[in-house]
A and B are shown apart, each in its own frame.
Chain A
Amino acid sequence: MPSSSDGPRPTFGPRLARRARSFRVPDWVYGLAAVLFLLGLWEFAVAQEWISAFRFPPPSKLARTFEALLERGFPRGITTDVHLKATLQRILQGYSAAAVLAIPLGLFIGSSPYLDRASMPVITFARSVATISLLPLAVAWFGVGEFTRIFLIAYGCFWIILTNAVEAVKGVPRQYLFAAQSLGASPAQIFFRVMLPASLPRIFSGMRVALGMAFLVIIAAEMVGTITGLGALIMEARNFYRTDVTMVGMLFIAIIGFLLAHILGWLERILLPWVSDLEEVQR
């Protein structure tokens, strides 16, 4: 907190110009300092027995658990890379199934105004159904096996990718199509050379949101009926009252979540360099 003489001031203002010339400590240093301070405080609070070491295992304990998870694993023998591989594999399967189905369907629906209008209520409703509420139904249909989890991921991603693909096609400026037509392009040419490239940015932003959804769904879906995967890791740890393992598992989840959120952004900049700024959807 700034001292009172410092006073509240807007982020921007005449100070900006003056400050830019002198050396500035980068922002992340402050963030890192805050994190280290909180970790220290946590360690201290446990040492002083202000908070229970069972519910809030101190950072030093977490560091040892971190090592143990990489070497011996939890439950014993299932090391972190096994959990990681299981989770990523499920995401990849469900996600790619959704993309393969949703993108062509979305392109098709989007190119017909009538179909678009007729399918709108169904899509809107299906999108509103919280994916996790399908868990009991999926279990009743497919059992607690691997397919249930992949189905749930695919369901969650499908509608997001689909709506974005539909909107992408609808958003292609009519002039592009007219121009291509008047230049004598065949329907196939119009589709592959005009429609598809023009709708790719929006489709891609849908894929990005869907990847976040896939991650959200799989963590919850792994809490039931399996012992591999990051979601299973943190839930199993709870069953054995290993708060430390749960917390380290959450750290793994944070790292993977962070990477997943940024991978498609990087990929997008490489694959679609002509897109300058896409509408951001925050999650």
Chain B
Amino acid sequence: MIELKNPAQIERMRKAGRVVAETLELMRENVRPGVTTGELDRIAEEYIRKCGAIPAFKGYNGFPSTLCTSINEQVVHGMPGLRTLQSGDIISIDCGAVLDGYVGDAAITLPVGEISEDLQKLLRVTEEALMLGIPQAMKGNRLYDISHAIQTHVEAHGLSVVRDYVGHGIGRAMHEDPQIPNYGKPGRGPRLEIGMVLAIEPMVNLGTYDVKTLSDHWTVVTKDGKASAHFEHTVAITENGPEILTRS
């Protein structure tokens, strides 16, 4: 069941979203060659707690950290640790925070130092796909209108959309209905209504869309070992159209 949020609830989600957006801005300042993913995680957790919020991922189904840090061929759910970022890497940083009972969730993929042209294109197209999907999140549309807009843009650039992981509704719980695939047919899926809050998150691969999970049970990687990017916003459907709650 897709739970609708009233304006007071959306106002609370706006505040949770702001904490996430600010945390990701802080990550932009700290991602550089030589820093470890564990250090980024520490900085993020400290900032979230300073805001009076709680990291949403830590302890979620046993996930150990504040951030998911996924480097290069890692798609999502990478665990921060001792790994040191190197020039030429790309890193997806996914962050969630709970404030006043409501969750915000967003992700960005950042270049580390100088990256190849292929990777620049991967990052650019993935973020563009997210920003083309979001305007579809309005009353009267269907859910897969969002999915279709994302898929169309990605595939027009010769890249592929991950099938096995999807976005989600969000509210008091981080993962609510509906599931939001990044592929699909326009005019299909649940009707979108005012008060829905959606975490839209395309994961885009340079090679094929096949992925697998590593033996740590969390880290999702591309099967062909080629790079993957991931961008996400928490978006509320309001009277005035989609509102990005995790915009910095």
Tell me if chain B binds chain A.
Answer: no
